[in-house]
Structure 1
């Protein structure tokens, strides 16, 4: 009786992973939201292209790049997270299947996230330093943006080093 109860409980725990599926559906919708903003920004800029200064063109391109990086980040989280925590995605042999799918570990996913966050933060910082933002920032605000960006960089580096050390320790234990 206890063994049967334990088995039922463990099956329920295992099935609870499907509670994550709506999160991934929401993330897919958020890519749609970013796509809408991307297309809107792109077409608005086309209408102003002839009168645009170089700085405005750079700002627009950096904004579009920022949106594309954010969408890539969300897609990586969706695909890797779903495969790691919910269910395998059966696309074996599909010519467009990314090589990392099915092989990305939680550690690898974390590093991809950090790299994307650092890239997005770097683009925002570049826009600020170029003075291309909607409103100029004070020296103090720019300093804090730089500190926050550097915190992202240091966090990413420390995470990568920690993962490397753990992987090396795991290999030497075998």
Structure 2
């Protein structure tokens, strides 16, 4: 029976390496998103003298939004690998902050990033309010408030758990 238990434990521990497939997939997705960002940036550069102030602000918000999403992807990839698969050994100087990213703090950082991304989307909606119905704007605000409350609750729960 002990031999069976050892085999099961090794299978379960070894299965964490399956996550690497997902993390490599996220790396590929990040590269594709980088290409998409480049196309958007090129469009903004080509339109710099055509856009009015409002259009330029919307274009910049789109670029900021893309940067936040890309940062979120990198944060999830690095923290997931570090927390579940293995340690980064040869990059101590570059990744000194990694030791501070446990699953609880990762959840809060992800939630904060989602709130930031949602804020940018909501600002884009407000700047283009004429293109949306009041009902659509209301639902956008409700979704944003839901993200904010969720992030706050994660922070409160993390603080409560840290006390215990």
TM-score tier after normalising by the smaller chain length: over 0.9
Cα root mean square deviation, aligned: 1.3
1:13-92 equivalences under 5 Å are 13-92=12-91
**Structure 1: stretches of 5+ with no match in the other structure:** none
Q: How many residues align?
A: 164
User: Distance between the aligned counterparts of 2:92 and 2:161, measured in 1?
Assistant: 32
Which digits, 9 at most, give the CA deviation of each residue in 1:138-160, with x for residues without a partner?
01100100000000000000111
Under a length normalisation based on structure 1, what TM-score does the superposition of the two structures give? Answer: 0.90
**Structure 2: stretches of 5+ with no match in the other structure:** none
Confirm whether residue 123 of structure 1 aligns to residue 128 of structure 2.
Answer: no
Match of 1:146 among 130, 141, 144: 141
Which digits, 9 at most, give the CA deviation of each residue in 1:37-86, with x for residues without a partner?
11101111211111110111111100000000000000000000111011
- Once the two structures are TM-superposed, the CA of residue 89 in structure 1 deviates from its matched residue by 1.4
User: Distance between the aligned counterparts of 2:9 and 2:161, measured in 1?
Assistant: 29
User: Distance between the aligned counterparts of 1:93 and 1:73, measured in 2?
Assistant: 21
Contact 1:88–1:102 at 8 Å: present in 2 too?
no
- Once the two structures are TM-superposed, the CA of residue 93 in structure 1 deviates from its matched residue by 3.3
User: Distance between the aligned counterparts of 2:121 and 2:143, measured in 1?
Assistant: 11
Which digits, 9 at most, give the CA deviation of each residue in 1:67-119, with x for residues without a partner?
0000000000000011101111113433x22x321331100000000000000
Runs of 4+ aligned structure 1 residues displaced above 3 Å come to none
User: Distance between the aligned counterparts of 1:101 and 1:91, measured in 2?
Assistant: 13
Match of 1:155 among 138, 146, 150: 150
Aligned to 1:165: 160
Under a length normalisation based on structure 2, what TM-score does the superposition of the two structures give? Answer: 0.95
SS of equivalent residue, structure 1 residue 35: helix
- Once the two structures are TM-superposed, the CA of residue 166 in structure 1 deviates from its matched residue by 1.4
